A and B are shown apart, each in its own frame.
Chain A
Amino acid sequence: MNLTLKIWRQVSPVKKGKMVSYHVTDVSPDMSFLEMLDVLNEKLILDGDDPIAFDHDCREGICGSCGLMIDGVAHGPEQATVCQLHMRSFSDGDVIDIEPWRSGGFPVVKDLVVDRSAFDRIISAGGYISAPTGTAPEAHATPVPKKDSDAAFDAATCIGCGACVAACPNGSAMLFTAAKVAHLGLLPQGQPERDARVLRMVGQQDAEDFGGCTNIGECSAVCPKGISMETISRLNHDLLGALRAGAVPAS
């Protein structure tokens, strides 16, 4: 199949970017979206042009590196990462717009690559537990109810790709932050820092030029791991509980 791609080209964080049209021919429906971009890049390199920069790593939907806004939807028409999206989801002659995640917290590095280290800073603000290292403790020492373990595991599937921020009309990173808060807050090992964690992580998410959540639900609808809006409710519950318990908000 033959496609027209309109791709955001931006030389550097400080330069202004623009959409540039490219034609790709003989695309196999079995190619992944990233393979299709590889084919285009090979052609660009042969022609002596600058190849399109985009993030990718494992290409099996578990690392969270790839992430593109495809035709106005984060990760494109399938609820999966871009590497798991195949060209069979498109048809011959389609015109596809490809943009980077757009967020104050995710400055563009080049073309489709954005700097997601804001997520690292949210994690370092509180996305950890304090546990002694050494030999693994006896597994039955700390019982975890099945329900909590399942919910914590569902939240822990977040790969930090940033699609929630990209899709959110408010540019909020609340689904990401909530997934981490819910993941650790549901487990006994996460209890000692539970109050401080939620306050610090939300404080950092606000400081990173992300917006506030208005419960619209676009984030959950595009999340490749299907993280539920329930986690945000849990974050809100934890935060208000922490303030009631007298915890001091992070500044």
Chain B
Amino acid sequence: MRVALHEVCHHRFTWVSRVSWAYRGAVATVTTQQAPRTARKPGKFGNSVVKKAVMAVTGIIMILYLIAHMIGNLHAFQGAEEFNGYSHWIRTIGEPAVPEQTTLWIIRLVLLVSVVAHFWAAISLWRQARRARPVPYVTKKRVQQSFASRTVRWGGLILALFIIWHILDLTFGVVNPAGTDTTPYDRLIASFSNIPITLFYVVSMILLGLHLRHGIFAATQTLGQTNKRRERAVNGIAYVVSALITAGFILVPLSIAFGLID
């Protein structure tokens, strides 16, 4: 029935636009149309824009955490006692009111949920994008895309591996040269006295900067907050925030590697 209804139709679109109808009248051709395809997954989270919103919101949560983390790291410049004291403080926030490590575990849970949701949305959109171009172009040129936007997916995967290494190294100490029974400051110095580990951190932080440079703009756009007027400002903020975060994180490892902190 549907096919029969669509049997005789225009070979181009039939909504009202500025195009004069005179151009369309002459070119009626007979085509058969398939029945409309229906959405693969019903519900909110099957919608690609909702997935993007999940990425944006979890991304913002992680950026806020990164800013706090970066400021915390800078305590390394105040020496071992201050740095270990700061690390101890994180574990005892709100202590008389709540048991030890409560705040820390709340932060960890929020971050874990954010990382998992961010990853799920990314993989899901990646798969959708792969389905969307089953036959690749023989020749495809870039017109205006940035390096940051192009590398955001693979960069994200590398960052996920970095996070796993980083937790095993500095939080648990299992892959740390100084071992597990050490203070946070000992582990910090031990890791960044090692050139390959320092390089891995520096490269990862540059990747983080690129990821954020595109991510901050994309999150603003996805949450519907950009327009032509704001575009420059949003891009500017994305550059500044990502550069500050990268610089703040690289400062400590490089200072240790160059012997400014020991």
Contacts and interface: CB of A to CB of B under 8 A. Distances in A.
A103 B132 contact: yes
A213 B52 contact: yes
B137 interface: yes
Nearest to A235: B49
Interface string A66-95: 000101110000000000000000000000
The B contact surface, by secondary structure, is loop
Interface in A117-142: 117, 119-121, 123-124, 127-128
A233 B226 contact: yes
Interface in A179-212: 180, 199, 202-212
A216 B149 contact: yes
A212 B12 contact: no
Given A104-B134, A236-B223, A207 B40 contact: yes
Interface residues of B toward A: which range?
Answer: 35 or more
A222 B142 CA distance: 10
A230 B37 contact: no
B129 A169 contact: yes
A132 to B, nearest CB: 16
A202 B141 contact: no
Interface string B27-44: 100010110111111111
Contact of B140 (A72, A128, A180, A199): A72
Contacts of A123: 13, 15
A250 interface: yes
A232 B53 CA distance: 13
A232 B49 CA distance: 10
A211 B51 CA distance: 12
A239 B49 contact: yes
A27 interface: no
A243 B136 CA distance: 35
B222 interface: yes
A62 B23 contact: yes
Interface in A148-163: 156-160
A58 interface: yes
Contacts of B19: 58, 62-64, 159
A236 B224 contact: yes
Chain A CB within 10 Å, residue with most, of B15, B44, B144, B145 = B15
Contacts of A214: 52, 125, 129, 149, 152, 218
Q: Classify the secondary structure of A's interface with B.
A: mixed
Nearest to A79: B143
Given A63-B19, A117-B33, A236-B222, A212 B128 contact: yes
Contacts of B136: 102
Given A236-B49, A239-B49, A251-B43, A215 B143 contact: no
A249 B43 CA distance: 6
A218 B144 contact: yes
Contacts of A58: 19, 23
A200 to B, nearest CB: 9
B259 interface: no
A162 to B, nearest CB: 11
Contacts of B88: none
Interface string A2-41: 0000101000000000010000000000000000000000
Nearest to A153: B18
B125 to A, nearest CB: 4
A202 B226 contact: no
A111 interface: no
Contacts of B14: 120
Contact of B48 (A57, A73, A105, A206): A206
28 contacts: A57-B23, A63-B12, A72-B137, A97-B138, A102-B133, A103-B133, A104-B132, A104-B134, A120-B14, A157-B18, A169-B129, A169-B150, A171-B132, A204-B36, A206-B47, A211-B48, A211-B128, A211-B131, A214-B129, A217-B144, A232-B221, A233-B225, A236-B221, A237-B224, A240-B223, A249-B42, A249-B47, A251-B41
Q: What 10 A-B pairs come out closest when comparing CB atoms? A: A237-B224, A251-B42, A171-B132, A212-B48, A211-B132, A72-B141, A170-B129, A211-B129, A72-B139, A215-B218
Given A64-B12, A104-B134, 18 more contacts: A6-B138, A8-B138, A57-B27, A71-B139, A103-B132, A171-B129, A206-B46, A206-B48, A214-B149, A214-B152, A216-B150, A217-B145, A234-B224, A236-B221, A236-B222, A236-B224, A237-B224, A243-B44
